[in-house]
Amino acid sequence: MIATADFKITKAKTSKLSTLDVNNIPFGKYFTDHMFEANYENGEWGTGEIKPYQPITIDPSCAAIHYGQSIFEGIKAYKNQEGEAYIFRPEDNFKRFNISAERMEMPQVPEEVFMEGMKQLIKIDENWIPNQPDHSLYIRPFMFATDEVIGVKPGQKYKFMIILSPTGPYYSAPMRIYVEEKYVRAAPGGVGYTKNAGNYGASMHPTAEAKRKGYDQVLWTDAFEHKYVQECGTMNVVFIIGDKAITPPLGDTILAGVTRDSVIQLIKDRGMEVEERPLGIDEIIDAYKKGELNELFGTGTAATISMIKELRYQDFVMTFDTEKWKIAPEIARTMNAIKEGKIEDKYGWMVKV
Ligand SMILES: *Cc1c(COP(=O)(O)O)cnc(C)c1O
């Protein structure tokens, strides 16, 4: 396979950066001056290109639109206290991207393309990483089939791209969550462990229904009994019960979150036991009634940690005073301090651009 990090670079003539209101940056709304693009054809990757951010042209028969071979990743870059750009655990996202690609029968993206494309792109748009606390640069690598033919079969042509979006604090308010018992996010043998676009398409309607009932998100349960919890919206979920943290085990129904893994590490390092095991709604309710369900929160790149202030299962409503919590805010503070270079990165999570 011929893939090098010797990219073709075309700089934008002017920068849009001065039009950005750094005090008000909603998630995913603004994009930097440049983007990365590499195309796969005849079994190999062509030369990667960094060029001005612009629309792309696709044929109406574009395979990804019709049959869904489309995957993505979500990563963040930060500035440390010296103003240097660092990316949070990008190797993990790179590996996960290719796990998604394999399941979707898409080609593997070489490390030189994914990692170097990302680093070089960030370097060019480095000024777009906001300096304020809790701000970052969201990195969105994605790949989709571009074959111009209608027919259910794996594509022969693919486009891999990376775009960057500066972002302010996200999802910070504690959430009200509805335990989902009708719809399913992931079943054994399915694609729940991949970041393929269809998973999110399928989650829109259940989430919209939960919102119409007044909730922020759903807590997904297993496909067979709707009894064991899986994930909360597009976040992994952690329950602090008694003196233990419990989170559902990885497998084909759980997305292997990089934040989940980081949070597990930090919780263990503060001396608390972490159990990765099936967790049933009965056990959750039982712990709540005994006063042992201390904290529950979602974990993900976009928000890092989102506390849950209300959990509704059928007609049973569990409420929590998140103001009194200790672990979730402490873990969030530590994570953010590592990301912003305020404390030592003893895990080697931060990768210099
Ligand atoms: C992306 C994602 C997560 C969180 O993964 P991170 O690597 O922590 O961002 C969790 N669940 C789903 C379904 C996701 O798509």
Can you give the pLDDT at residue 172?
64
Q: Is residue 103 part of a domain?
A: yes
User: 90: Cβ below 6 Å to ligand 1?
Assistant: no
- Both tokens of 292, joined, read 């042992």
Low-confidence ranges of the chain (pLDDT < 70): 1-4, 170-172
Can you give the pLDDT at residue 242?
97
Domains held by the chain: number:
2
Cα Rg of the chain (Å, integer): 21
User: 301: Cβ below 6 Å to ligand 1?
Assistant: yes
| Domain termination residue (choose one: 138, 169, 200) | 169
Q: Is residue 349 part of a domain?
A: no
Residues 88 and 186 occupy one common structural domain? no
Q: Is residue 63 part of a domain?
A: yes
Residues 180 and 256 occupy one common structural domain? yes
- For ligand 1, what atom is nearest to the CA of residue 299? 8
Residues 144 and 193 occupy one common structural domain? no
Can you give the pLDDT at residue 134?
82
Q: Is residue 189 part of a domain?
A: yes
Place of tokens 């997305």: 255
Q: How far is the CA of 1 from the centre of ligand 1 (A)?
A: 30
State the CATH number of the domain containing residue 251. 3.20.10.10
Can you give the pLDDT at residue 97?
98
- What is the phi/psi pair of residue 177, to 5°? -125, 140
pTM: 0.96
Polymer length of the chain: 353
State the CATH number of the domain containing residue 70. 3.30.470.10
Q: How far is the CA of 254 from the centre of ligand 1 (A)?
A: 9
Chain center to CA of 27: 13
Q: How far is the CA of 259 from the centre of ligand 1 (A)?
A: 8
Residues 30 and 59 occupy one common structural domain? yes
| Domain termination residue (choose one: 130, 145, 169) | 169
Q: Is residue 316 part of a domain?
A: yes
Q: How far is the CA of 257 from the centre of ligand 1 (A)?
A: 5
Can you give the pLDDT at residue 4?
66
Q: Is residue 254 part of a domain?
A: yes
User: 234: Cβ below 6 Å to ligand 1?
Assistant: yes
- Both tokens of 36, joined, read 């990365």
Q: What tens digit of pLDDT does each residue of 150-198 get?
A: 999 999 999 999 999 999 876 568 999 999 999 999 999 999 999 999 9
Residues 199 and 161 occupy one common structural domain? no
Distances (CA, A) of 305 to 119, 255, 299, 334: 26, 16, 5, 11
CA distance 233 to 208: 11
- For ligand 1, what atom is nearest to the CA of residue 96? 7
Question: Residue 204's domain spans which residues?
Answer: 175-339
Residues 192 and 272 occupy one common structural domain? yes
Can you give the pLDDT at residue 1?
46
Q: Is residue 197 part of a domain?
A: yes
Q: What tens digit of pLDDT does each residue of 277-308 get?
A: 999 999 999 999 999 999 999 999 988 999 99
Residues 329 and 198 occupy one common structural domain? yes
Paired strand residues for 78:
86
* Closest to 188 (Cα-Cα) out of 106, 274, 248, 105: 248
Residues 193 and 134 occupy one common structural domain? no
Residues 192 and 243 occupy one common structural domain? yes
3-state secondary structure of 271: coil
- For ligand 1, what atom is nearest to the CA of residue 199? 13
Encoded amino acid at 311, one letter: L
Q: Is residue 348 part of a domain?
A: no
User: 300: Cβ below 6 Å to ligand 1?
Assistant: yes
Residues 179 and 328 occupy one common structural domain? yes
User: 233: Cβ below 6 Å to ligand 1?
Assistant: no
Residues 94 and 241 occupy one common structural domain? no
- For ligand 1, what atom is nearest to the CA of residue 236? 10
User: 192: Cβ below 6 Å to ligand 1?
Assistant: no
Can you give the pLDDT at residue 103?
98
User: 207: Cβ below 6 Å to ligand 1?
Assistant: no
> Cα 191–300–63 angle (5° rounding)?
40
| Domain termination residue (choose one: 149, 169, 189) | 169
User: 37: Cβ below 6 Å to ligand 1?
Assistant: no
Residues 160 and 14 occupy one common structural domain? yes
